[in-house]
Amino acid sequence: MKTLKYMSIIAFVTLAFGCKNETAPEVKTVDTETSAEAKKLDPNAHYAKAEFGIEGMTCAMGCAKTIEKKLANMDGVKSAKVDFGKKLAMVEYDDAKVTTSSLAETVKKVGDDYSVKDMKTVDNFSLAE
């Protein structure tokens, strides 16, 4: 009986005083544009295409998507696609701002396990985008 009495008192105190100190919710403004959408691309630029293999990837969501985002966020990169299954990256970039060596450096900066193989510039990507 004492237990029931104490539980009733605790419940009453919790309900009576627990919700009194609510603060107003904080309003935050979040920019919904991704950096790739917000980038300004030069319409007069000459865009080259590069394909290269990436060694060391172990998963599609962690490795491949992270590398793809890093490449896509580079200044001067128009598009980037990393195919985990084929271990292949396809990047379209402004050749006045980006070089194939800077693409390789960006991949290497994502993680020491990643390495670029068979870098080549192409007229068209070998896989359908």
Domains of the chain: 1-129 (3.30.70.100)
Q: Where are the beta strands (DSSP E) in the chain?
A: 47-55, 77-83, 88-94, 115-122
* Radius of gyration for the chain, computed over Cα atoms and rounded to the nearest angstrom: 26
pLDDT for residue 90 is more than 90: yes
The tokens 């990047």 sit on which residue? 91
pLDDT, tens digit, 9 for 90 and up, residues 8-31: 777 666 655 555 455 555 666 655
Strands 47-55 and 77-83 come out as unpaired
pTM score: 0.66
